[in-house]
Amino acid sequence: MATQLKNLSDFSQTEIPSATAYRFGIVVAEWNAEITNALLQGAYNSLVNNGALPENIVTHPVPGSFELTSGADLLLKTGKFDAVICLGCVIQGETRHFDFICNAVANGISNVAIKYSKPVIFGVLTTDNQQQAIDRAGGKHGNKGDEAAITAIKMANLAETLNS
């Protein structure tokens, strides 16, 4: 969680393995595109800056955050990826729709990870308003896309370590 005490883009206190050996899928929601495009840019840059080869990063758009689950499932079904990053943004509105979508996406992403025994990363902002989303998509609290990419690298490395 990003706060004044934690910046989503600060990994100075942790060791990040090289991403050179891994293949990453990124599924990004088109809904709230201003935010999700910033998350995508952060994730992509973080992967490349930590050794991922551009040809080993595949990005696929899906209509909204709800579709991230099926997008991740379709990518992992190919057997081509070591980790999948799901990027989206759900902003609280006037109805309970927010609660249903956030719950479904979180559970769906977890279920896909378990189904394939592969890291599927929850890079979804669930904010009260647009400004909070901007602050977490490259603004004053860093970029959730950076955090999602570093998590994907670390989890792909953990899976490789445990499987060897």
Cα-only R_g, the chain: 15
Token readout for 160 is 């490789």
| Strand 137-139 relative to strand 120-127, pairing | unpaired
Residue 6 DSSP label? B
**Out of 77, 80, 97, 115, which one is annotated catalytic?**
97
Active site residue 97: yes
Would you name the residues annotated as active-site residues? 97
